[in-house]
Each structure stands twice: as C-alpha cells, then as structure tokens.
Amino acid sequence: MQWNILADALAFNSFDRVPDDLLHWNVRLPLIAHHIHDHKPDIICLQECDKFDDILQALGEKYDGVFAPKKDQLIGNAIYWNKSSGVERISELKAVNFKTPEGKDES
C-alpha cells in the first residue's frame, strides 16, 4: 500500500472542500489506521508522514517500520511492514533530496 497521508503540520485551512474537523490528527489517525487494517497490507509506504510513532502504535505489534525525514524537516517518508509476512527487516531508510533547475534543494 502506498499513500500520501498529508502531514499533520500541513493540514490546515487551505483545503476548502474538506471540513475543518476532518483535518485534525485525532480524527484522521483512526481513519488512516482503519483503512490500513481493512486492506491488511504486508508493506505500507507513507509520504508526508510526520507522526511515525502514532501510526506505528495504531498499527499494533503486528507491524514494524522505519522513517526518513526530509532534509531539515520533521516531515518525511515511512515504511511499515507486517512482521509475520516474511518481509525482512528494513534497517535503514534514506531520504533523497532533489534539486531544482537552479541547483537548490527541493523541500
């Protein structure tokens, strides 16, 4: 499963078609966890993740994971895996920072 979950730090009033209460992390986390549990994926790749530990706890002891933040940020990518699926432990995840045509880091 691959999913851009919208980092909590980016979930504010710029989404005019989404009711404000649905942007709150305490509402979104159970919905995210429920969706993941419904699909029972062996591997989960999340982008715009800034609540790695919250998600790992919501997934339960069945999953493990690693997190790679973007350069100088708390937002990044996370990979979680079902420990009983036969997937070997991922020991390291590195973020790749792309450059703009002007040679500046993209954030």
Top CATH class of 2-82 equals: alpha beta
pLDDT in tens, 10-61: 988 678 888 888 899 999 999 999 999 999 999 999 999 999 999 999 999 9
Indicate whether this model's pTM tops 0.85.
no
Are 11 and 28 contacting, i.e. CB atoms less than 8 angstroms apart? yes
Structure tokens at 44: 């989960």
- Return the exposure string of 41-78: e unless at least 16 CB atoms fall within 10 Å of the residue's CB, then b: beebbbebbbbbebbbebbeeebebbbebbeeeebbbb
What are the residue ranges spanned by the domains of the chain? 2-82
